[in-house]
Every structure is written in C-alpha cells, then in structure tokens.
Amino acid sequence: MHIGIIGLGKMGNNMRARLRKAGIEVTGYDPNPAVTDVASLAELAAALPAPRIVWVMVPSGKITDDVIHDVSDVLEPGDLVIDGGNSRFTDDAIHAEFLAGKQLGFIDVGVSGGIWGLENGYGLMAGGDAADVKRAMPIFDALRPEGPRDEGFVHAGPVGAGHYVKMVHNGIEYALMQAWAEGYELLDSRKDLVTDVTGSFKAWQRGTVVRSWLLELLVKALEEDPEFKDIAGYVDDSGEGRWTVHDALDRAVPVPTISAAIFARFVSRQKDSPSMKAVAALRNQFGGHAVRKS
C-alpha cells in the first residue's frame, strides 16, 4: 500500500515513520522543505497510485478547510481523503459533501496518542462509510497499538462520528488532568506532613484503582521538575473541551466535571496556580504542547 500524508508536524511526521516501519509506503507533503518528500500537492498526487488515499494531518479550522479544497483539485474520482486532525465534528459533513461533489470519499478520524504514538501506537476513532473504512484498514492497523483491534480502533459510525468520539475523549481528558492537578496541589501544600510528593504519586502506579498512563506521565514530569519551577501556571485549551460542553448544553446532558475543568483552565490565565502548572506539565508530557516558562 502507498498513501500520502499532508502535514508533517509532531504527529504527522511520527505517523509517517510508524507507517513506513509497518511496510506501508508513504509520500508526505509539508510546506517545510526540511521534512517534505515532494514540493507540491500536485507532485504528491502524481506520486501516488490510483485510487489514492491521502491523510490530512493539519490544525483544525481554516487550515483544514483550505487543504481539503486544495488537495481535491489534484485528486481524481475514486480517491479517498482522511482527516486525522482535531476538526470539529460539525465540519465533517461539510467536507464530505464537498468532496462527494467531486466523487471523492471522506473519512474523519480522531487520533489519540500524542508524541508517544510512534512508539506506542495511536488510539483511532473513525467515522465514514463502511466500504471506505474497510479500504483504509491496513493504515489503521499499522497506526493502532499492538493487541486486539477493538482495543485501539473503532469505526464509531457515519461521517462525523470519529471526531465526535475524539471530542468527548478530550473532554474526559480535561477532567482527568484537572483531578490529578488538584491532588498534586493539595499534597504539595502539606510540606509539614508529606515529605515526598513525587514518591507518593509513584506509589500509586501499581495495585491502586487510580493507576493510569496520565499518572505515569505526572510522575515523569515531577521527576524532571519536582516543584514545576520552570513552568508557568498558564494552560491553553485546544478547543475540544469547549466543543464537548457546547454539545452537552445543546442536548441538556450534564457534564459538570468536564465543564469545571474548562473553567479551571480559564482561571489559570489570571494567576499562577500550582495545579495549573501540573496540567501544563501533563499536556507537555503526552502531547508535546508548549509550556510557558516561569
């Protein structure tokens, strides 16, 4: 199999490497000449065998809109476009309808795994027609973690379902990080009693009901900087948490924990908070998101 990838940033570059390691030929395009395989989208299309599969891995919003429109001009009927970025699920129907007008297929895929995906594999959530998903399964199998397919991949439903499931995933992620961060701040506040905060978290990594990958990453961050002295307590949000709350409001579904985590991030932009330093450190650990230096 031979596919194209558009967007070779932190995620796209690692995905290209993992696919190649699995025996899938990949031609990548990126405006950055240091990482691209071809100089233009036209060269990308020319390098791929028909019917083509092109995976778009760029930031959500206008950039994704522009790339999908631009790549559609160099593709041919029967080709398939996969949006693996963090697009809002409501954009997927628009993209699918536009591409269908050119007889091009479309799949939306939520991708989780961050900067660790190259080594560990990516959790994948796909939305689209069953025939299109089946056609792309060798790609999904190469990207997902080793083990049973249904523990690292789901065809969640029609177009939009993949990004919707990923949106809810990220909303949950916000809440989990906030819980770990608040626990850190409470432990750290009792220096008169708790003399080893890092060790306390580390002791929870085996045999406890709260053991998790996020806990492992928090321990790693604490071992690198036990007091988070080099991190400002300012945390961005990339959008998915807000979208989760918006949809919950539209459907009158209570999500108090997720919504509280979103508002806590807004608080972080008003003062330097120990718990927000922990959230910033966690985002850096799993996703490579930039942190503000203290």
pLDDT of amino acid 293: 64
One-letter amino acid for residue 254 of the chain? P
Closest CA to 247 of 177, 192, 173, 168: 168
**From the CB of residue 71, how many other CB atoms can be counted at a distance below 10 Å?**
23
In this structure, are strands 25-29 and 80-83 parallel, antiparallel, or unpaired?
Answer: unpaired
Query: 3-state class of 175 per DSSP?
Result: helix
Active site residues: 166, 173
Q: Which CATH class is domain 166-287?
A: mainly alpha
pLDDT of residue 270: 63
Ranges of residues in the chain whose predicted pLDDT is under 70: 268, 270-272, 289-290, 292-294
Q: How confident is the model at residue 100, as a pLDDT?
A: 98
Query: What is d(CA 267, CA 165) in angstroms, rounded to the nearest whole number?
Result: 27
Out of 3.20.10.10, 3.40.50.720, 3.40.190.10, 1.10.3720.10, select the CATH number for domain 2-158. 3.40.50.720
Ordered by start, the domain boundaries in the chain are: 2-158, 166-287
Instruction: State pLDDT tens for residues 97-144.
Output: 999 999 999 999 999 998 899 999 999 999 999 999 999 999 999 999
Question: Are the CB atoms for 221 and 229 separated by under 8 Å?
Answer: no
- Phi and psi (nearest 5°) for 110? -80, 135
Tell me the whole-structure pTM to 2 decimals. 0.89
Which pLDDT belongs to residue 294?
60
Would you state the pLDDT for residue 54? 98
Three-state helix/strand/coil letters over 18-32: HHHHCCCEEEEECCC
Q: State residue 233's pLDDT score.
A: 73
